[in-house]
Amino acid sequence: MSAHKKGFTLIELLVVIAIIAILSVIGFTVFTNVQKSARDAKRRSDIDAISKALEIYKSQNGVYPPGAGWCSTMWNDVYPQVRNALAPFFSGGQTPGDPTKQGTQGDYWYYSDGTGYELLVSLETVPQGTQTSSCQGYLWTNVYNLKVTNQQ
């Protein structure tokens, strides 16, 4: 009489564990990329909203809110006066901020001398590169990869 034991062999268990691990890695990678794309979509939307608010501000005041000279920097923490000037043009009076920074500091930059402006943002899904800002021709290396400006 032969006794057949019910259960899985070690090889079968290892194959199942390997398949689950591969599927988990693929799922995590896809999920991470979707999150990055969603944050970039918010950044693009924020920059568009800030640009529109700047144009409304200029139409009411004749100038753009100036930074500390043409080369003021971080949108969220270095020059809050600009954010405060634009706050009435956003719902709830809150200016947008980078989604990964929770509004305390961010990867948005604002440059203005009152007659023109540049908004700069660092996107996660676009390759970084070297670009020139109007801020005294300064080369920003691996800092931002999207620039919105009213300059020609």
pLDDT at 125 over 90: no
Tokens of 94: 């809150």
Q: Which of 66, 57, 83 is nearest to 117 (CA)?
A: 66
Tell me how far CA of residue 117 lies from CA of 47, 64, 83, 96, in angstroms.
Answer: 12, 7, 14, 17
pLDDT of 13-44, one tens digit each? 999 999 999 999 999 999 999 998 999 899 89
Give the model confidence (pLDDT) of 5-21 as tens digits.
788 899 999 999 999 99
Whether 7 is covered by a domain: the verdict is no
Comparing 87 with 18, which gets the higher pLDDT? 18
In this model, does residue 129 exceed pLDDT 80? no
d(CA 85, CA 65) in angstroms, rounded, equals 7
Least confident residue range of 37-46, 50-59, 83-92: 83-92
pLDDT at 20: 97
Residue 137 lies in a domain: yes
Average pLDDT over residues 47-73: 80
Q: In angstroms, rounded to a whole number, what is the distance separating the alpha carbons of residues 127 and 73? A: 22
Give the chain's domain count. Answer: 1
- Tell me the residue range of the domain where 46 lies: 14-149
Rounded CA separation 125/40 (Å): 7
Domain assignment present for residue 2? The answer is no
Q: What is the mean pLDDT of residues 38-51?
A: 89
- The whole-angstrom separation of Cα 78 and Cα 30 is 35
Q: What is the DSSP string of 12-62?
A: HHHHHHHHHHHHHHHHHHHHHHHHHHHHHHHHHHHHHHHHHHHHHHHHHHS
In this predicted structure, which of 8-17, 67-76, 78-87 has the lowest mean pLDDT? Answer: 67-76
Answer yes or no: is 9 within a domain. Answer: no
Cα torsion through 28, 29, 33, 39, rounded to 10: 40
When pLDDT is averaged across residues 69-90 and rounded to a whole number, the result is 67
pLDDT band for position 60 (cuts 50, 70, 90): very high
pLDDT value for 104: 44
Structure confidence at residue 57 as a pLDDT band (50, 70, 90): very high
What are the backbone angles phi and psi of residue 50, rounded to the nearest 5°?
-65, -40
The DSSP bridge partners found for residue 147 are 120
pTM of the predicted structure, to 2 decimals: 0.72
